[in-house]
Amino acid sequence: MDKKVVLITGAGSGMGKQTALFLSTFDFIVYAGTREPEKLQSIKQTNLIPIKLDITNSSDIKQTIDTIYKEQNQIDILINNAGYGLVSTVEDVSEEQMYDQFNINVFGVLRVCKAVIPIMRKQNSGIIINISSFLGKIGLPLLTLYNSSKYAVEGITDSLRYELKDFNIRVNSIMPGFFNTKFARENLKTNFETFDKNSPYSKIVSNLAPVIVDQINNGNDVKEVAQMILEIIQNDKFKARVTVGDKAKKFIPMKKELSDEDFERRVREYYKI
């Protein structure tokens, strides 16, 4: 068989870019999907192909998928990585902000899956890896929209595993903790009213926001995520979901062991909220 063909969304930076670079050093042809493919043109790895992809636009997705299929006649692995985090209280969030968060983090995943699944079904093979978050199992204040979008990604993963099993398509989820990427600088969007000094939520903002940003900026190396993706690809018996990073490995097992109330108390104590 030819080399496996991989499509990664949100591959212009962070985990997506690192994963694209990492996989392209192995026996894969990697299409690095990003809204700004010109940013990757300086990379001179033969197996890495930057390609324009806007996951909010169904016709753009179709054009991208058609291009890949025309060139390779197969798509073997889809890595749904694109996403961002909105930092806002529910009281302050606008309708537009709510929609935008889900449009990328949830509907974007569904749109790309919808476009790729028919190809994988006809091949009778494929792997879909959804990059979720440990916050897809754990709630935190100020991140309600991001949390709920990642909870939705976990639900998509669970349901697709049933839906696609008969077509030999594996679906897995990776739940990273906080990683040292440009996420805090480029992929966190804040609500102005929530961060206003006169906001009724100013206490929780001042206690929590700096800690979260610091934990992201001093988080694990993104290579851990790329290596985990390779493990999932190579092991057809890999479990449905896996955590990566210190915070994920700390909080997810704790959540399973404790009652909801005890877990909430631990989180309040940890983050002083």
Is 84 among the residues known to form the active site?
Answer: no
The bridge status of strand 85-87 relative to strand 4-8 is unpaired
Q: Which of 146, 151, 201, 255 is catalytic?
A: 146
Q: What is the rounded distance in angstroms from the CA atom of residue 121 to the CA atom of residue 106?
A: 22
DSSP state of 9: S
C-alpha atoms less than 13 angstroms from C-alpha of 46 in its C-beta half-sphere: 3
What b/e readout covers 158-186, taking b as 16+ CB neighbours within 10 angstroms? eebbeebeeeebbbbbbbbbbbbbebbee
In the DSSP assignment, the letter for residue 245 is: S
- As to burial, measured by CB atoms within 10 angstroms (0-12 exposed, 13-18 middle, 19+ buried), residue 83 is buried
* Residue type present at position 271: Y
Closest CA to 19 of 45, 55, 1, 58: 45
Maximum Cα–Cα distance across the chain? 62
Distance (Å) of CA 104 to CA 73, 142, 189, 203: 27, 18, 13, 30
Indicate which residue of 4, 17, 137, 150 is catalytic. Answer: 150
- Is 52 assigned a catalytic role? no
In whole angstroms, what is the distance from residue 55 CA to residue 228 CA?
24
The backbone torsions φ and ψ at residue 83, rounded to the nearest 5 degrees and listed phi first, read 175, 170
Q: Known catalytic residues?
A: 146, 150
